[in-house]
Amino acid sequence: MQLIKGVGLKKTYQTGGIRILALDGIDLTMEEGEFLAIVGTSGSGKSTLLNILGGLDSPTNGYVEIRGESLKDMSREELTIFRRRNIGFIFQNYNLVSVLNGYENIVLPLKLDNAPIVSSFVEEIVEALEIENQLYKMPNEMSGGQQQRVAVARALVTRPALVLADEPTGNLDSKTSNNVIQLMKHMAEKFHQTIVIVTHDGEVAKMADRCIRIEDGKVCK
C-alpha cells in the first residue's frame, strides 16, 4: 500500500536578492514498509526534500500526501498534530532535550500529545536498542552512539508510520553507524514502518531497499 506521495515538488529560497532553486520538480512515491536512502552531494537538496516530506518545510510548488492526506491542506496546528502522530524524526545532532534524562526524552512525544505511555512497548524498544542503562542518564553523560539510540527510541515510541532520518550516522564511527542502521531496520520491519534516510555514507545506502540520488534539486535517472 502506498504510504507517501510527493508530486512536482519545487522549493526556492531568496537570499540577498539571489534566487536559489533547492528542489526542481521532484516526484516520489513510497510503499508501506519500504526503506529508502536519499544520497547526493552537499547542497543537492536532499535534506530540503526530507523536510518537505515530513512537513517541516513547505514546497513552493507541488504537494505531499501521507496516507492519502495532503499536508498542504492542513492548518499549522493540524500539521503539528499529524506529524506528532504519524512521523518520527531522527536528526544528525540527536536533538535530545538537555534537561531531560534518557527515559524522559524517549516518552516526550507521548506526553506532548497527552497519549498514554505503554510501559511494555517502551521496554520493548529500549531492550531492542540495548539502552536500558541509559534511561536515567542525562544526554551529556552519554556517548554519541548512546544518544543516537535514545533519539531512535524517541522516534519510534509513537509507532509512527514514517521515520525520517537526516544523516543519523554522520557523527558516529563505522561500527556504531552499522549497528544503528541495523537496529532501525529491525525495528521498522517489526513494526511495519517506512524509513527515509538522507546519507552521504555509501555503506548505509547499500542497506536500503532502494536508493535515489539527488543532484541540483532533481532525481538523477
Of residues 179 and 9, more confidence is placed in 9
pLDDT at 221: 66
Q: Is the dihedral of CA 74, 78, 84, 86 positive or negative?
A: negative
pLDDT at 10: 96
pLDDT at 201 over 70: yes
Render pLDDT for 58-117 as a digit per residue (tens, 0 to 9): 999 999 999 999 999 999 999 999 998 899 999 878 899 999 999 999 999 999 989 999
* CATH of residue 109: 3.40.50.300
Q: Which amino acid is at 151?
A: A
Among the listed residues 51, 92, 96, the one whose alpha carbon sits nearest the alpha carbon of residue 200: 92
Q: How far apart are CA 161 and CA 88, in angstroms?
A: 8
All three cell numbers of 28: 516520489
Render pLDDT for 33-46 as a digit per residue (tens, 0 to 9): 899 999 998 889 99
Q: Is the dihedral of CA 182, 111, 118, 99 positive or negative?
A: positive
- Count of domains observed in the chain: 1
What residue numbers bound the domain in which 87 lies? Answer: 2-219
Dmax (CA) of the chain: 54
pLDDT at 173 over 80: no
All three cell numbers of 98: 538537555
Residue in the block written with cell 534566487: 19
Tell me the average pLDDT across 143-168. Answer: 90
Do residues 156 and 187 touch, judged by C-beta distance below 8 A?
yes
Render pLDDT for 111-137 as a digit per residue (tens, 0 to 9): 998 999 999 999 988 988 889 999 999
What does the chain come to in residues? 221
pLDDT at 87: 94
Please state, rounded to an integer, the average pLDDT across all residues of the chain. 90
- The share of the chain scoring above pLDDT 90, in percent, equals 61
Q: Checking DSSP bridges between strand 210-215 and strand 61-66, what pairing results, if any?
A: unpaired
